[in-house]
């Protein structure tokens, strides 16, 4: 479980639930129970209102206009950058680049850093826990540059084999890319140790923070990571936006990822001079309204307190684990010591898809399948799992209903 501060306190879950409009509906004639938070979590009304407020009040393009609406939109957009700087403790706001989310952030680094710094024979290390978005971009750039990929092995409990990782490191290692927390199993990786070991051989490190940013304290300076990728939609924010943190010296050395407006200082048909960071990597009109609302989502997390969120979610995970193990035939996949609130399991003789479909008939939303981690499923020699993932607005009563429904499914299918 994640470490909890002694200052963490219980909070009024019913008051929190009132802030999420989507939760108050029926699905298939049953009250909705939403346990698919690792895919995306729901949005509080303040975030929804922030999006609406931008479009209804000051919709305008940013950075280029001098009229009142443009200046208001620009200020709101840049306030999110400043808030995110504080949220992850970056050295400066200019080290924050807005992207479509974690996937684009990783692709940006693979494309830009990869083309600049990777050569034939160089090595990239990823882990067996990775989402496809932290595998495929490295395969593409490795093939293009003639580099090689090595993989950190996953132990039976779903944790990484750190000793084996250390054996992979060499002077050929140019980049290590691992997730902070696994979307499939919930495993929290020892990223500080991974980063420190990589730096000993001169390698740079990218951390996929999609599953960690809303749950764990993120201090990029303390971690000393070179890149950190974030998705807003897993932080109670909008879909289609996120950010990449990168150390200034690296971002300045990397070429632009895309060409267009805003990322330039001067253009002629003979030569283009590129803009300073972060704008060098933010070509074209961005997703302004959603970036503005991202700040509201970050403020929502800060107001609740990450210690409070972590304590509540850890309690839910422990409770669900205890209850589900009492159902005959259930096997939990991934039982590492340190986890975010993800419970991945299979049931002997029943396909995960069938379980998911029957739980949905009871109004319970879980995720089934390989969760965009097919190599990880192959590691455990399974086709996929049922994944229940918990958030700040979930309750033990909802878990009880899921367990009751799952027990009925198992007895019916058996």
* DSSP-based three-state secondary structure for 5: coil
Tell me whether residue 372 is one of the annotated catalytic residues: yes
Sequence-ordered alpha helix ranges (H) in 32-152 = 45-57, 68-88, 102-117, 136-145
* DSSP-based three-state secondary structure for 300: helix
Residue-wise DSSP of 153-216:
-B-TTS-B-HHHHHHH--TTEEEEEEESB-TTT-BBP-HHHHHHHHHHTT-EEEEE-TTTTTTS
Whether the link from the prior residue into 258 is cis, omega within 30° of 0, is: no
Are residues 192 and 223 in contact, defined by beta-carbon separation less than 8 angstroms?
yes
Residue where the block lists tokens 């192959």: 378
CA 222 distance to own-chain centroid: 19
What CA–CA distance (Å, rounded) separates 414 from 409?
8
Number of other residues whose CB lies within 10 A of the CB of residue 400: 13
The active-site residue, picked from 27, 372, 382, 413, is: 372
Catalytic residue numbers read 372
């Amino acid at each position: 479980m994640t470490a909890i501060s002694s200052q963490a306190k219980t909070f009024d879950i019913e008051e929190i639930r009132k802030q999420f409009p989507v939760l108050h509906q029926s699905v298939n004639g049953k009250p909705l129970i939403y346990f698919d938070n690792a895919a995306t979590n729901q949005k509080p009304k303040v975030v929804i209102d922030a999006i609406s407020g931008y479009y209804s009040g000051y919709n305008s393009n940013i950075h280029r206009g001098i009229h009142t609406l443009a200046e208001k939109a620009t200020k709101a957009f840049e306030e999110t950058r400043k808030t995110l700087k504080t949220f992850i403790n970056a050295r400066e706001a200019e080290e924050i680049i807005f992207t479509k989310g974690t996937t684009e952030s990783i692709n940006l680094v693979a494309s830009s850093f990869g083309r600049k710094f990777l050569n034939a024979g160089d090595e990239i290390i990823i882990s067996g826990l990775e989402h496809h978005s932290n595998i495929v971009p490295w395969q593409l750039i490795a093939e293009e540059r003639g580099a090689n990929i090595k993989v950190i092995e996953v132990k039976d409990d779903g944790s990484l084999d750190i000793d084996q990782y250390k054996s992979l490191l060499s002077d050929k290692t140019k980049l290590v890319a691992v997730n902070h927390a696994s979307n499939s199993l919930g495993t929290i990786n020892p990223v500080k140790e991974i980063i420190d070991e990589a730096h000993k051989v001169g390698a740079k490190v990218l951390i996929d923070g999609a599953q960690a940013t809303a749950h764990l304290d993120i201090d990029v300076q303390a971690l000393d990571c070179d890149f950190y990728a974030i998705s807003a939609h897993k932080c109670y924010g909008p879909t289609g936006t996120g950010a990449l943190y990168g150390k200034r010296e690296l971002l300045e050395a990397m070429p632009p990822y895309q060409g267009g407006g805003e990322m330039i200082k001067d253009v002629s048909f003979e030569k283009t001079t590129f803009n300073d960071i972060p704008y060098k990597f933010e070509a074209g009109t961005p997703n302004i309204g959603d970036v503005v609302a991202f700040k509201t989502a970050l403020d929502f997390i800060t107001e609740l307190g990450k210690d409070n969120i972590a304590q509540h979610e850890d309690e839910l995970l422990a409770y669900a684990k205890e209850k589900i193990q009492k159902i005959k035939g259930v096997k939990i996949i991934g039982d590492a010591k340190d986890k975010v609130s993800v419970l991945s399991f299979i049931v002997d003789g029943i396909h995960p898809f069938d379980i998911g479909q029957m739980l949905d008939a009871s109004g319970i939303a879980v995720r089934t399948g390989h969760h965009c981690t097919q190599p990880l499923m192959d590691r455990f020699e399974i086709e996929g799992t049922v994944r229940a993932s918990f958030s700040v607005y979930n309750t033990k009563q909802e878990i009880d209903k899921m367990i009751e429904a799952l027990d009925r499914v198992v007895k019916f299918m058996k």
